[in-house]
């Protein structure tokens, strides 16, 4: 049986490095394209595998895109500028990477090639107080990041032969660690300062462990025809909680941390929603790793070398 060829752009990043690792271990031919802005060693543990292939290239370059998409069975475009602050700081690069590079992939890929696209459920913006957001809820992104990702989702869905996931806020350890993500950041801050200053503490989020995201993507590869041409929320259904509730969960494991509520301060990437993951769960996939297990994991990681992760994004 022919091994499937899987291309991951941005495959050296937070999510990509974990996904690439599991796919290589499962025996897929994995092709990574990444500029390695933030880390040049997140995939070093895969160098000895014959089914691992790496190219340090820029997917904004049309010639490179045309070359790399050839002979791929699956294309998973993860290369992006992520998060509201970074996209606001580098607007042109954000649009070129998050939207224009996707247009190039669509232009040069063949319709028979399968595309798995991930965006954020930040596109829901501010949801109704007593209602869960599902895949039919209106999209109201308030950040450039949210707008670029939503635009690319529309392009991918129009192309078809695709599966699109709207991810909850991801947490957990990766080979290319990020400390800007909310759970990761709260645990890191609690351990380094013994304090959590919470503003807009009633704002709601859904969360998901990075290992569950990886398993969800692999599930979509193995069940592509059952899922294709649809958008799915992907999150941990038991982890629809407020920022303040998250802080209190962390305090259970770091008792000395002091939680302070800050008034009159706003988040530039306003997100306030609970999310329904029923659609993907009905198809047979459900996230499993709890917030508590992720908090314990992060404490172990940061306890080993807290200074290593300072300002890493």
- Mind listing the pLDDT tens digit for each residue in 181-216? 999 999 999 999 999 999 889 899 999 999 999 999
pLDDT of residue 271: 75
pLDDT one-digit tens code per residue, 35-59: 987 778 999 999 999 999 999 999 9
160: left (phi over 0), alpha (psi -120 to 50) or beta: left
Give 10-residue mean pLDDT values along the chain (313 residues).
Answer: 88 97 98 88 96 95 94 96 86 94 97 96 76 90 88 96 97 96 96 94 94 98 98 97 97 98 75 91 98 98 86 63
The per-residue pLDDT for 268 is 59
Query: What pLDDT, on a 0 to 100 scale, did the predictor assign at position 313?
Result: 63
Write the CA distances from 276 to 132, 210, 234, 259, integer angstroms.
Answer: 6, 18, 9, 29
Answering whether pTM is above 0.75, one says yes
Domains (ranges, CATH) in the chain? 5-171+207-236+275-288 (3.40.50.720)
Position 183 scores a pLDDT of 98
Q: How far is CA 45 from the centre of its chain?
A: 21
Closest residue by Cα to residue 99 from 139, 143, 155:
155
**DSSP string across the chain:** -PPPEEEEETTTSHHHHHHHHHHHHTT-EEEEE---SS-SSTTGGGTT-TTEEEE---TT-HHHHHHHTTT-SEEEE-----SHHHHHHTHHHHHIIIIIHHHHHHHHS-TTSEEEEEEEGGGG-B--TT--B-TTSPP---SHHHHHHHHHHHHHHHH-SEEEEEEPEEES--SS--S-SHHHHHHHHHHHHSEEEEESTT-EEEEEEHHHHHHHHHHHHHTHHHH-SEEEEE--GGGEEEHHHHHHHHHHHSTTPEEEEEPS---SS--B--B--HHHHHHT------HHHHHHHHHHHHHH-GGGGTT--
Side-chain-facing half-sphere of 257: CA atoms under 13 Å: 24
């Amino acid at each position: 049986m022919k091994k499937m060829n899987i291309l991951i752009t941005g495959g050296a990043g937070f999510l990509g490095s974990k996904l690439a690792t599991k796919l290589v271990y499962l025996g897929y031919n994995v092709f990574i394209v990444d500029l390695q802005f933030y880390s040049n060693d997140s995939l070093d543990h895969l160098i000895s595998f014959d089914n691992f292939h790496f190219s340090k290239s820029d997917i904004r370059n049309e010639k490179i895109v045309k070359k790399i998409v050839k002979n791929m069975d699956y294309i998973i475009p993860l290369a992006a500028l992520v998060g509201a602050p970074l996209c606001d700081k580098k607007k042109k690069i954000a649009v070129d990477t998050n939207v224009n590079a996707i247009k190039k992939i669509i232009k040069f890929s063949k319709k028979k090639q399968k595309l798995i696209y991930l965006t954020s459920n930040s596109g829901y913006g501010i949801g109704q107080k007593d209602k869960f957001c599902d895949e039919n809820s209106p999209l109201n992104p308030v950040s450039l990041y949210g707008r670029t990702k939503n635009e690319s989702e529309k392009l991918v869905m129009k192309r078809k032969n695709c599966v699109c996931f709207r991810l909850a806020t991801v947490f957990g350890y990766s080979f290319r660690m990020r400390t800007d993500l909310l759970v990761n950041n709260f645990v890191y801050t609690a351990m380094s300062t013994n304090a959590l200053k919470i503003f807009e503490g009633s704002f709601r989020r859904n969360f998901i462990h990075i290992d569950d995201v990886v398993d969800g993507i692999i599930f979509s590869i193995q069940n592509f025809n059952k899922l294709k041409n649809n958008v799915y929320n992907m999150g941990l259904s038991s982890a629809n909680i407020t920022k303040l509730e998250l802080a209190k969960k962390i305090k259970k494991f770091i008792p000395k941390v002091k939680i302070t509520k800050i008034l009159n301060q706003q988040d530039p990437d306003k997100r306030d929603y609970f999310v329904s993951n029923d659609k993907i769960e009905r198809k047979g996939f459900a996230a499993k790793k709890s917030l508590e297990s992720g908090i314990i994991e992060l404490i172990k990681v940061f306890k080993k070398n807290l200074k290593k992760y300072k300002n890493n994004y």
